[in-house]
Amino acid sequence: MSQIKIFDTTLRDGEQSPGVNLNKLEKLEIAKQLERYGVDRMEAGFPASSQGDFQAVKAIADTIKGTSVTGLARTVKEDVDIAWEALKGADEPRVHLFLATSPIHMTYKLKQTPEEVMNTAVNMVAYAKQKFPQVQFSPEDASRSDWNFLAQIIERVIDAGATVINMPDTVGYTTPKEYGEMFRFIKETVPNIDRVDLSCHCHNDLGMAVANSIAAVENGATQVEGTINGIGERAGNASLEEVGVALKIRSDYYPYHTNLKLNETKRTSDLVAKLTGMYVQANKAVIGRNAFAHEAGIHQDGVLKNKETYEIITPEMVGVNANTLFLGKHSGRHAFKDKVKELGVDLPDEKVKEAFVKFKQLTDHKKEVTDDDIFTMLMEIQTDIASVNKYQLEMFQVQYGTANIPTATVRLKTPEGNAIETACTGKGSVEALYKTLDALIAEELRLVDYQLNSVGGGKDALAESHVQLEVNGKKVNGRGAAQDVIEASAAAFLNGVNRYIVGQNQAQTKEAVK
C-alpha cells in the first residue's frame, strides 16, 4: 500500500478561521500534539505576517523534531528571508510559496500577465531553493486555472527546485470528478512530475473537501493537506481525521495508508477545539459526540447484538474511551503526575504542582473527575499568562432571580496592584457581570462573541466559557473553566483582557530593544 503524506495546516490556514487567535504557547502545544498524532508535515504559520507569528513558527521549528515544519511565504524575497530566519533551526526546513494562476486572480488581484506570473514563480522558487532543502509551490486557485498554463508553470518551477507541487481548490469550487481529472492531466502532461510530491489542498465551501481530496489521491496525489476538525477560512478545510479514518476503514478499496496514529484523534481534536474555541458539532463525522450514539430502537437492537450492524468505526480506533472516574480525592501526587504524562501534556514541575492543587480542589466539589475534566484544567494551566502583571479576580457576587434586577459586584486587582470594586445591573446575570468588569477595566472593551459549553456530562460537570473581545480595537480570545457557569464566564472575560495586556507588553519590550 502506498503511503499518503499528511500535511497539517491547522496552525496556519486553520488559524485564519474568523475569531481564532492563538498565542505562541498555544500554537506550540498544538504542534506537539500534531507530532504525537503522526502528521508528516505541519505548516506552523506565516512568519512574515507578524512578529507574533514569526516567534511562534520559530519556537515550533526549534522544538518539533519528528515532523517536518513548514512556513508560508509569498513569492517575494523578504518573505522567504523571514521564513528562513524562523525555520532554520528545524531538522528539515521547508517553505511553502504561493502565487495565483487563475485568470480572475491574475487579472484582478495580481494585475499581471501569465508570463509575468510564470517568471515570478520560477525566480522565487530558485531563490528559496538556495536556502531551503524543501520548497513547496502552490499555484493558488489551481482548480479555476487553465490546465495547460498550470502544466507549464509546474514544469518550470520543478526545474527551478520545487520538491512539492500543491494544487489547491482555494475557494472550494470544484467537484471530485473535475479535481481528480486535473491531477491526472498534470501527472500525464508534466514530464518531470515524478521528481516531486503532488499535493492537494481543498476547501469545504460546497461540502466536498474530503471527497475532493480522496479523488486527488486516486489520481496521483501523494500528499493531502487539511486541518484538525476541518477548521479554516469560510467553511473550512478538508478534515484530516476524516481522510485518515476513511482510508483506514476502506483499505479494501483504497490501496493507501497514512502515518496517523488514529487513537490520538480525539485528544488532538479536543485540544484544537479548546484552544481555538471552535467546538465540534455533535454530528461531525468521526469525532462528533453523536458519532457513536444510536437513538433509533432498531439501531440500538442491532448494535447490542453485533456492533458491526450499524457501527463501522469503533470508538477505540479514534481514542474515544468510556469517560469513567480516573482519580479521586485520595489520589496522590505521583498518580496525578502519571495521568498528566498519559494525557500527553508537557508541564514543568512547578506547573504540575499547581495543577495538583487545583485537582484536589476539584475533587472536593465533583464526585467523578474524568480525563476530560483534567485535560481542560491542564490546558488552562499550560496556557496561563501569569508572566506579566494582569487583572486578577479577587471577589465577585451576582444576585439574580425572577423578582430581582440582576446585579453583579466585582472586586479586581489591577496590573498596578490596586484593589478596585464596583457593582452594575443588567438584563441577565452574565450581562450584569460583564458590565461590571467593563466598568472596572481601563481598556475600551466590546464583547463580540460568547459561548458556554459543558465538559462531559452530569449536573456537576465543569463549565467552559469562550469569549471574543475587542480590546482597544484589537480582537482577542479568552477562555475560562469552572464548576460555576458565572465564574467560568468571568474567567474567560478576564483571560481575554489579560491576553491583550501580554501582547502589548511584548510589543513594548521589542520596541525598547530596538
- Determine the pLDDT at residue 86: 98
pLDDT for res 461: 85
Question: What percentage of the chain exceeds 70 in pLDDT?
Answer: 91
Residue 144 has pLDDT above 50, yes or no: yes
Domains recognised in the chain with CATH numbers = 2-276 (3.20.20.70), 291-319 (no CATH), 333-382 (no CATH), 392-513 (3.30.160.270)
The Cβ of residue 309 has, within 10 Å, a number of other Cβ atoms equal to: 14
How confident is the model at residue 375, as a pLDDT?
A: 83
Q: What is the C-alpha separation between 81 and 93, in angstroms, rounded?
A: 12
Q: Is the pLDDT of residue 260 over 70?
A: yes
Strands (DSSP E) found in 414-504: 419-425, 445-455, 462-471, 474-482
Do 149 and 181 touch, CB atoms closer than 8 A? no
89: Cβ–Cβ under 8 A, 6 or more apart, which residues? 58, 61, 62
pLDDT at 513 over 50: no
When pLDDT is cut at 50, 70 and 90, the band that residue 148 belongs to is very high
pLDDT at 333: 83
Q: Is the dihedral of CA 20, 23, 25, 31 positive or negative?
A: positive
Average per-residue pLDDT in the chain?
90
Write out pLDDT tens, residues 230-259: 999 999 999 999 999 999 999 999 999 999
pLDDT tens for 392-429 read 999 999 999 988 999 999 999 999 999 999 999 999 99
From the number of C-beta atoms within 10 Å of its C-beta (0-12, 13-18, 19+), residue 76 rates as: middle
Residue 210 contacts residue 242 (beta carbons within 8 Å): yes
Q: Residue 491 pLDDT more than 80?
A: yes
CB contact at 8 A, 43 and 71: yes
Q: Are 117 and 110 in contact (CB under 8 A)?
A: yes
pLDDT at residue 377, as a whole number: 82
CA distance 163 to 136: 6
Quick: pLDDT tens for 313-360.
999 999 987 544 457 667 788 888 888 888 878 788 888 888 898 888
The pLDDT of residue 309 is above 90:
no
pLDDT of residue 263: 95
Contact 61, 89 (CB under 8 A): yes
SS (H, E, C) 268-330: HHHHHHHHHCCCCCCCCCCCCCCCCCCCCHHHHHHHHHCHHHCCCCCHHHHCCCCCCCCECCC
Query: Mean of the pLDDT values across residues 118-135?
Result: 98
At 78 the pLDDT is 98
HSE-up (13 A, CA, CB side) for residue 275: 31
Give the pLDDT of residue 341. 82
> What confidence score (pLDDT) does residue 294 get?
47
Provide the phi-psi class of 423: left if phi over 0, else alpha when psi is between -120 and 50, else beta: beta
The predicted structure's pLDDT at residue 40: 98
For the stretch 57-112, pLDDT in tens is: 999 999 999 999 999 999 999 999 999 999 999 999 999 999 999 999 999 999 99
pLDDT computed for residue 94 by the predictor:
97
| 136 vs 138: CA distance, rounded Å | 7
pTM of the model: 0.88
Decide if 40 contacts 134 (C-beta within 8 A): no
Each residue of 213-233: pLDDT tens digit? 999 999 999 999 999 999 999
Q: Which residues contact 284 (CB under 8 A, 6 or more apart)?
A: 229, 230, 291
Task: Give the model confidence (pLDDT) of 264-306 as tens digits.
Answer: 999 999 999 989 989 899 999 999 988 876 444 545 455 455 5
CA distance 118 to 123: 9
**Which DSSP string do the residues of 119-131 spell out, in sequence order?**
HHHHHHHHHHHTT
Beta carbons of 21 and 56 less than 8 angstroms apart: no
- For residue 43, the cross-strand partners are 70
